[in-house]
């Protein structure tokens, strides 16, 4: 699972750069982005843990971690060196990577 999580984090970083959201340290309350109609990511670029609302409740997001939601449900907690992500039929590393790649492709489309 480590290689898949590394790919997810790479795509999240590429998306943040493409959206001009980097560097992550400029977001004191985490950077939150709706990737598509299913996936939402919230990334903590701070050196300290911060509280973010996940599923309507405060969630302690560790430094340099990303919480992943699928249809509003907690689907994973990842960081550049690993983590946990849902392994369901619709919510898994492959479908999240596909959503991130589509989001990147939309940004590259000419207007």
| pLDDT tens digits, 84-98 | 999 999 999 999 999
pTM of this structure? 0.92
What distance in Å separates the CA atoms of residue 34 and residue 53, rounded to the nearest whole number?
14
Instruction: Supply 104's token pair.
Output: 């990147």
**Beta-strand pair 50-54/66-70:** unpaired
Average pLDDT over residues 52-76: 95
pLDDT of residue 1 exceeding 50: no
By the 8 A CB rule, do 83 and 65 touch?
yes
Helix/strand/coil percentages in the chain, nearest 5 = 30, 30, 35
pLDDT of residue 59 exceeding 60: yes
By the 8 A CB rule, do 42 and 49 touch?
no
């Amino acid at each position: 699972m480590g290689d898949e999580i590394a790919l997810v984090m790479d795509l999240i970083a590429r998306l943040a750069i493409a959206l001009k959201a980097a560097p992550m340290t400029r977001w004191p309350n985490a950077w939150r982005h709706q990737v598509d109609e299913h996936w939402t990511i919230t990334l903590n670029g701070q050196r300290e843990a911060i509280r973010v609302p996940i599923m309507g409740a405060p969630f302690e997001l560790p430094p340099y971690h990303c919480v992943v939601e699928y249809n509003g449900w907690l689907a994973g907690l990842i960081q550049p060196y690993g983590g946990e992500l849902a392994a369901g039929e619709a919510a898994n590393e492959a479908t999240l990577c596909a959503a991130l790649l589509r989001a990147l492709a939309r940004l590259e489309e000419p207007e």
